[in-house]
């Protein structure tokens, strides 16, 4: 019988929390085969199967559930004890993992993180761009970024960055060939560059002017999944794009695209950084949150 390795217990918890070997491996920066091997060694050391494996999923056995029930509080105490030692260090250390939609990561979170890391050289930062609504605790993130109206009630949230605004833009070549829309509803007669969320939902375009609200489902031949792709398509004359103005501010100033319907403003909630209210936060996370609050 092989000796029991304590780190394999933490790996076991990661696999169950992430729902599989691949996700756990990505979080740890190792291969799926290394994670699988660690679980096999653990099961051999304990003499009992802990996980039921299929081609599509991984789930704990009854024995695995019982072990997790006792294991999670113990691992929490160990992590807390280690973090308490970190409080004695001159500088915080550790890793901060944040999940954020691409636009928030590109224009707000990344610049803040770059400056934060200069101040705290012992802290690692991992930012994962993802527009899907997820459980950040279950997926192993310390914090997330979403619109204020998308936050769960048990989260602590703080505003992140200024108010948001969309810009409707198209290239001069496109407008010369297709004309310029005079109202949001005119967009239905144009080739609009559509966006599909990871979950499959198509993005609708919303407008507001002097109390009048208009919402359209854009039509067009091109459907994409990221703001960067939409900007490239607009620059290429492939249609009319609906983008956060941060993505196209320089393009508008340089005349590469023309902003349309600028008198129609979309009402948007602000980005918020949020984190669990009932979870121990590490020294690295506390340092990052403190830095954000002071911006």
Quick one: pLDDT at residue 155? 83
pLDDT in tens, 94-126: 889 999 988 889 888 999 999 999 999 989 999
Task: Please tell me which residue, 200 or 182, carries the higher pLDDT value.
Answer: 182
Quick one: pLDDT at residue 3? 64
pLDDT in tens, 222-241: 999 888 999 999 999 999 99
User: Could you tell me the pTM of the whole model?
Assistant: 0.62
DSSP bridge pairs for 202: 196
Per-position b or e across 43-64, b if 16+ CB within 10 A of its CB = beebeeebbeeeeeebebeeeb
Among 134-138, 191-195, 243-247, the minimum mean pLDDT is found in 134-138
- CA torsion angle for 136, 137, 143, 148 (degrees, to 10)? 60
Quick one: pLDDT at residue 218? 94
Name all domains of the chain by residue range, CATH numbers in brackets. 4-82 (1.10.10.10), 92-161+268-292 (3.40.190.10), 165-258 (3.40.190.10)
CA atoms within 13 A on the CB side of 105: 18
For range 178-207, the mean pLDDT? 91
pLDDT in tens, 267-285: 677 788 998 876 667 788 8
Q: CA of 21: how far to CAs of 28, 30, 46, 130, 256, in Å?
A: 11, 10, 19, 20, 46
pLDDT in tens, 63-93: 888 888 888 888 877 777 776 666 655 578 8
Quick one: pLDDT at residue 279? 61
Neighbours of 164 (CB within 10 A): 19
């Amino acid at each position: 019988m092989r000796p029991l390795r304590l780190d394999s217990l933490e790996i076991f918890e990661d696999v169950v929390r992430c729902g599989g070997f691949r996700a756990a491996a990505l979080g740890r920066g190792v291969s799926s085969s290394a994670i699988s091997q660690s679980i096999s060694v653990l099961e051999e050391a304990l003499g009992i199967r802990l996980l039921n494996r299929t081609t599509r999923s991984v789930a704990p056995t009854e024995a695995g559930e019982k072990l997790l029930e006792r294991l999670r509080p113990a691992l929490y105490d160990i992590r807390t004890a280690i973090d308490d030692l970190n409080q004695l260090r001159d500088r915080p250390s550790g890793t901060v993992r944040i999940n954020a939609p691409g636009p928030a990561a590109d224009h707000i979170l990344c610049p803040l993180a770059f400056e934060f890391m200069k101040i705290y050289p012992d802290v690692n930062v991992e930012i994962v761009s993802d527009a899907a609504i997820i459980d950040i605790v279950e997926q192993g993130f310390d914090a997330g970024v979403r619109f204020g109206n998308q936050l769960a009630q048990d989260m602590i949230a703080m505003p992140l960055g200024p108010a948001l605004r969309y810009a409707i833009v198209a290239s001069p070549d496109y407008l010369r060939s297709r004309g310029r829309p005079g109202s949001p509803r005119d967009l239905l007669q144009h080739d609009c560059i559509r966006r599909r969320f990871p979950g499959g939902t198509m993005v609708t375009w919303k407008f507001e002017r002097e109390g009048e609200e208009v919402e359209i489902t854009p039509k067009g031949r091109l459907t994409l999944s990221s703001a960067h792709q939409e900007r490239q398509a607009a620059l290429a004359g492939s249609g009319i794009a609906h983008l956060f103005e941060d993505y196209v501010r320089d393009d508008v100033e340089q005349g590469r695209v023309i902003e349309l319907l600028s008198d129609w403003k979309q009402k948007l909630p602000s980005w918020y950084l949020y984190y669990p209210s009932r979870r121990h936060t590490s020294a690295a996370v506390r340092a990052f949150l403190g830095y954000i609050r002071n911006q």
